[in-house]
Amino acid sequence: MKNIQVINSVKVRRIEMGHLTQGDLAKVVGVTRQTMNLIEAQKYNPTIKVCLLIAAALETSIDQLFWMEDEE
């Protein structure tokens, strides 16, 4: 697959939301805390389903949360 870098602002947005922990967000989305941790650390390439659920939980859109940067 084409080699791009996907960046997200999930952690920033989650903290903007106020008292919302990784665990809280994970629970709402229905993934584990570890999975949410790896997504926030940009170490996973999550599925669109998870992204849609995260965007809903953070009251924003996928386009606001995820974008791509050309590899190098």
Partner DNA sequence: CAAAAGTGTAACATATATATGACAAAGTTA
Partner DNA sequence: TAACTTTGTCATATATATGTTACACTTTTG
Does the protein bind a copy of itself through residue 2 (CB under 8 A)? Answer: yes
Residue type at position 65: L
Give Dmax (Cα) for the chain.
Answer: 38
Question: In angstroms, what is the minimal distance from the CB of 15 to a copy of itself?
Answer: 21
CA distance 46 to 41: 12
Query: How, if at all, do strands 4-8 and 66-70 pair?
Result: antiparallel
Does the protein bind a copy of itself through residue 58 (CB under 8 A)? Answer: no
Among residues 31 and 58, whose Cβ is nearest to a copy of itself?
Answer: 31
Could you say which of DNA, a copy of itself, none residue 72 binds, taking C-beta under 5 to 8 angstroms by partner kind?
none
